[in-house]
Amino acid sequence: MPRTPARTTRVNTKPAKSSAGPALTHIGASGEARMVDVSDKPATERLAVAEGRVVMTKATLDLIVSGNAKKGDVLGTARIAGIMAAKRTSELIPLCHPLALSKVTVDIEPDAELPGCLVRASVKVTGPTGVEMEALTAVSVACLTIYDMIKAVERGVRIEGIHLVEKLGGKSGHYHA
């Protein structure tokens, strides 16, 4: 039986500027994914802060706070995981630039009113591009680590509200949620 050639339909994927704002920077003129060229941008100090929540029962939070979780120090392990994740963001998120980070902090506060943990990451660099993705990755992985370390006790834990809180530096200036 003769084969019919596959029909190809070309879709116009060219990024279009809209009245809502500029085109997506990671999409080339032909619609292909691309890494943004930052070689002409000046190296400036940049900071990003992100946060999220891990919501659980009060009993599970008490287990974490008391240090009696079966897998060990939940908050300390999550803090280290978040810092390591920030440093490896370019390996995890396509098209992110590898950056020599100046500082990464991950703070985790137990909150009895949630009940759960508030996770906040702050990432700093002097370079030609921002560190929003690094801060968001740090928070995400820290939250996932908390979940991993307590899932045997409580499967219904929720990770919520991961978002960028603040960004300083670069051409777009200061952003605060």
Any idea which residues carry the catalytic annotation?
148
Measured CA distances, 168 to 35, 85, 129, 130, 134 (Å): 22, 21, 11, 8, 14
Report DSSP letters for 5-19, one per residue. PPP----------BT
Beta bridge partners of 163: 51
Q: Hey, CA dihedral for 27, 30, 35, 39, is it positive or negative?
A: negative
* 16 within 8 A of 79, measured Cβ to Cβ: no
Q: What are phi and psi of 143, to 5 degrees?
A: -65, -45
